[in-house]
Chains A and B, each alone.
Chain A
Amino acid sequence: MPENDPRRVPVGPPGAWPYWVGGVALALINTLILLADDRPWGITLVFTLLGSRALQSVGLHPENWTYFNQGGRDTLLSQFGWADTYLWLNLGVVAGALLGSLAVGEFAIRPWPKKWRKLLLSLGGGVLMGYGARLALGCSVGAHIGGISSFSLHGWIFAVMLLVGALAGIRLFRRIL
């Protein structure tokens, strides 16, 4: 694999910790999250709840959607607020990455690219990921890692279908990335 392939994501300066450290830390901290909150790490649910609150504030009624009225999700939206544990967990992740990068002098404000094409790729990629995560009841963290770790079949389905999606995505976008 060519080290200087332009499509290759920069893995950062040589000071980065080996990947296995991240894997062990992810598993152990996720276990602590499960013990503290009775559910493993999840990210995108907070995005849905924040967005739904925004819709409610302009007079729409996401609380009537099927999603919020079955599967034990009927109290999610009404109970969501500043005391939400997932909200603070994910704010903590951003703060942790900020501290981690500041500590080694890696932090730098990088403005978003000027080209519309690049911004649309970021926005569109986010839309597809958000949409997919909602359908699958979790993202690559909540459904994939949380699902497999908790011996649920949907986690393994997520892993296989994610590979299918990644292959399709690479085929679709390899020329313009």
Chain B
Amino acid sequence: MPGKALFALTAPSVVLLVAWRLWEQNPDTAVMWLLGIAMGAMLQRSRYCVAAAYRDTVMFGDTGLARSLLLALAISSVTFGVIQAMRWPDGFPIAAQRISAGTLAGPVLFGIGMIPAGGCAASTLLRLGEGNLRFLWTLAGLVLGSLLGAYHFGWWEKLLGTAQPVYLPAALGWPGAILVQSSLLLAAFLVIKWWERRGSVLL
């Protein structure tokens, strides 16, 4: 098929040409470009979507994506755990997130929004790559909303005050953190399994 052959020749060349130009400017951006392409291609081929993991479980009792999300979390808990214990024994940059009213309200608003949008931020990027232009509107919304959120951020922090970030290994030690983390992952898995076996479909 000439179309396939043309694609097989041009796609890698374009990817590598961009990577080469980025490498000259800043090698880090070239590495991230290639990792992003790997991520985008893998998630596109497997129809991955965090929003759908939650929605399909709740609405349809379809837990395939939710199980796969748990699998991803279990694997990356191990890999991130090893990297963090070796590189950042005192805690990892992302763990230094203070807890505020926004930490509680933010995910609720995010969860409400992902239902009418039909996907999360990641699937917005994936659907755009597949050529679905409806997600340009979601993208515009994401930019507008995240600007508004940044503008109001101080207000949300003042609302209930802020609590120090909780990095489980620092709070409980590594054995305790591993125990809590695995118990939570296992509990989530059992709840999902129970929900599916019950044939529960909400709403």
Say whether A151 contacts B81, CB under 8 Å.
yes
- The answer to whether the Cβ of A75 comes within 8 Å of any Cβ in the partner chain is no
Whether A145 pairs with B108 at a CB distance below 8 angstroms is no
Residues 134-181 of B at the A interface (beta carbon under 8 Å): 134-154, 156-157, 165-169, 177, 181
In the complex with contacts A65-B154, A67-B154, A97-B44, A1-B168 CB distance below 8 A? no
Bits for A153-176, please: 1 = Cβ < 8 Å to B, else 0. Answer: 110111111111111111111100
Please name all residues of chain B whose beta carbon is closer than 8 Å to the beta carbon of A130 when the two chains form the complex: 113, 141-149
> Which residues of chain B are within 8 angstroms of A89 by Cβ–Cβ distance?
32-33, 35-36, 39
Q: Which residues of B contact A38 (CB under 8 A)?
A: 93
Q: Is B122 an interface residue (CB 8 A)?
A: yes
Residues of B within 8 A of A29 (CB): 35, 38-39, 42
* Contacting pair A90 B157 (CB below 8 A): no
Given A36-B28, A124-B141, A148-B73, also A133-B146 (CB < 8 A): yes
Q: In the complex, A84→B25 CA distance in Å?
A: 11
- Evaluate contact between B102 and A166: CB separation under 8 angstroms: no
| Pairs of residues from A and B, 4 with the lowest C-beta to C-beta distance, nearest first | A165-B111, A92-B36, A126-B141, A96-B40
- Interface pairs (20), CB distance under 8 Å: A1-B62, A9-B118, A11-B47, A22-B48, A34-B80, A51-B144, A66-B153, A93-B37, A97-B127, A100-B42, A103-B7, A112-B136, A123-B137, A128-B112, A130-B141, A131-B106, A145-B76, A161-B108, A172-B112, A177-B115
Interface positions of B (Cβ within 8 A of A) = 7, 11, 15, 22, 25-26, 28-48, 50-52, 54-56, 58-62, 64-65, 67-77, 79-81, 83-84, 92-99, 102-118, 120-122, 124-154, 156-157, 165-169, 177, 181, 184, 188, 201-203
A-side residues, CB < 8 A to B, are: 1, 5, 7-9, 11-12, 16-41, 43-44, 47-48, 50-52, 55, 62, 65-68, 71-72, 82-104, 106-113, 118-119, 121-154, 156-174, 177
